[in-house]
Amino acid sequence: MNLWKAIVFGLAVLGGCGKIEPEPTSGPTAPPQPAVWKIADADTTVYLFGTVHVLPPDLSWRSPTIDKAFDESKAIYFETDTEGDQIAFREMLNRLGFYSPSERLSDQLALNDLKLLTSALAKLDMPLVAIEPMRPWYAGVVISDVIVRKAGYDVNSGVESVMRSAGRSAGKQIRFLETVEQQMSSFATLPEDIQIRFLIGGLGEIDLAPQKLDDLVKAWTLGDVDSLHRLLIDEDLGNIPELYDSLLTHRNANWAAQIDSLMDSETGTFLVAVGAAHLIGKDSVLEMLKTVGDSPQRLGLP
């Protein structure tokens, strides 16, 4: 798998004024229409919007459907609080993402894997010593961050960063579906060999990362869910079942239960904005909502 895809489309923390209308300087020529769904009963409406956590600063992605969902919602749910207590964040990261002082990442890797990692780091101008203290999952996250930044992507331009700022300015409630520790643990609790597969996966294709990311974001911007499924699930996350279950299936089940409970316990309109990978495929939040009697409807289609 290509490790950077998991960060761009799957995990928000590892990777933030009304309507927002950036002036586009590049991107697809068709009007943007990222996929949005809705579930509703007599007194509660929930919009579900699949996001991208980091984006090119000049990409225009807002649509009338997204603006309507944003404007109508009294509260916006994100995956987790990426702007929370930074001291607590660092403590969790030290506990979950780093080895003990006597251990090194390179000692855990087979010779061929170490050679591949060293070659990839050289392309990224990163010294091996910089990630030696890190457990494989966190080393993969750090490398992914460098890859997406070198490709011209910026977390400050990601949907969550833009929409959270807009929500605060508009006086909307900001809510979260999981804690930072729960999100980190989706990687940190994986067996070491699976973490290494995540770390090594895609390192041989670093030179292709900008084009692959652009292809994914183009599909997302145009609401091409089938292409996203092929690129994210069929050709990537689905190749490591343990990672797929931890990153998507288990978290999706938790979120679907919370959304269903929201439908029963509160009235009004809400917006749920989570990584696009969580809203595609047979184990998506949408499919899990169907099993409890909710009926997500895709919006904005001809």
Between 141-145, 161-165, 221-225, 255-259, the lowest mean confidence (pLDDT) is in 141-145
Q: Structure tokens of 89?
A: 């964040």
Q: 10 Å Cβ neighbour count for 275?
A: 27
> Average pLDDT, whole number, for the chain?
89
The answer to whether 55 and 153 have CB atoms below 8 angstroms apart is yes
10 Å CB burial of residue 9 (0-12, 13-18, 19+) is buried
pLDDT per position as a tens digit, 213-245: 899 999 999 999 999 999 888 888 888 899 899
Q: Which of 79, 92, 63 is nearest to 13 (CA)?
A: 79
For 45-58, the pLDDT digits (tens) are: 999 999 998 899 99
Distances (CA, A) of 128 to 112, 113, 116, 119, 264: 15, 13, 12, 10, 51
Could you report the per-residue pLDDT of 67-82, keeping only the tens digit for each?
A: 999 999 999 999 998 8
Our CA angle for 27, 31, 35, nearest 5°, is 95
| 77 strand-pairing partners | 175, 272
Kindly write down the DSSP assignment for every residue of the chain, as one continuous string. --HHHHHHHT-SS-----S--PPPSBS-SSPP---EEEEE-SSEEEEEEEE-SSB-TTB----HHHHHHHHH-SEEEESS-TTS-HHHHHHHHHHHHB--TT--GGGGS-HHHHHHHHHHHHHTT--GGGTTTB-HHHHHHHHHHHHHHHTT-BGGGSHHHHHHHHHHHTT-EEEESS-HHHHHHHHHTS-HHHHHHHHHTTGGGGGGHHHHHHHHHHHHHTT-HHHHIIIIIITTGGGSHHHHIIIIIHHHHHHHHHHHHHHHH--EEEEEEEEGGGGSSTTSHHHHHHHTT---EEES--
What is the four-CA torsion angle of 91, 256, 221, 124, rounded to 10 degrees? 30
Structure pTM? 0.91
DSSP 109-165: S-HHHHHHHHHHHHHTT--GGGTTTB-HHHHHHHHHHHHHHHTT-BGGGSHHHHHHH
Nearest to 80 by CA among 15, 153, 6: 15
Q: Is the pLDDT of residue 26 over 90?
A: no
Whether the per-residue pLDDT at 30 is higher than 60: the answer is: yes
Q: What are phi and psi of 14, to 5 degrees?
A: -100, 95
Q: Where are the domains of the chain?
A: 3-299
Q: How far is 145 from 137, CA to CA, in rounded Å?
A: 13
Rounded Cα–Cα distance for residues 261 and 216 (Å): 32
The model's confidence at residue 17, banded by pLDDT at 50, 70 and 90, is: very low
